Amino acid sequence: MGEKPLFKQLFFTSQHHSSRDILTFIMAGSMVFFALCAFAFVSAATAADALSVVKVDQCTDGSTKNVKEVRMTHCESLPCNVKLADKPRFEVDFVAERDSNVMRVKVQGQIGALNPENFPGFKSDACSNMGVECPLVAGKQYTAKSQLTMSPTFPPTQAKAIFKGVDAGGELFCFTVPVELKQ
């Protein structure tokens, strides 16, 4: 039969142990403790980077009928909490309504009753920049994935993010998500 684990040898036998055995046990315990602390730190640090399923609002009646699911970082609850130094990611699962050679996802921001503004520098071509395989085939499900780079010039405020999917035939989906921008 094999040897007993060092822990049992040290504490559950009447044998006398060398300082080396005790030091080995302490070092092993310290390494396990360090590994657990490191895991906890990394888990906490990446919590904001975790994608959460988000309940979205329609822009107009039926504008989310082709959307299956939306996932975002920094959005464990609504409104999404985004710091100006963050780079929030999003994924949109949608079903193509018709065949199309093009697909764009436009992202806009709206503060209060002001007109929505296009998100600066956002690359809207879903076929080239978001992993969507084009041409789209009617009835097939796709996932558009992207990331937003926040600008330090954005004002800290309550806002609404607007996501519009547009193909060759027109609007495919449109939804909004409340966002709180913070310093």
What pLDDT score does 52 carry? Answer: 98
pLDDT at 41: 40
126, 122, 170, 125: which is closest to 148 by C-alpha? 122
Contacts 24+ apart (CB under 8 A), 24-31: none
Check: CATH 3.40.190.10 for 50-182? no
Please give the backbone phi and psi of residue 26, each rounded to the nearest 5 degrees, phi first.
-65, -45
Q: How many helices (H) and strands (E) does the chain have?
A: 3, 10
Q: Which sequence spans correspond to the domains of the chain?
A: 6-47, 50-182
What does pTM read for this prediction? 0.74
How confident is the prediction along the chain (183 residues), in pLDDT tens digits per residue?
555 554 455 445 556 656 666 555 455 444 433 333 333 343 344 456 899 999 999 999 999 999 999 999 999 999 999 999 999 999 999 999 999 999 999 999 999 999 999 999 999 999 999 999 999 999 999 999 999 999 888 899 999 999 999 999 999 999 999 999 999
Tokens of 54: 């988000």
Sheet holding 52-53, edge to edge: 52-53, 67-72, 89-95, 141-147
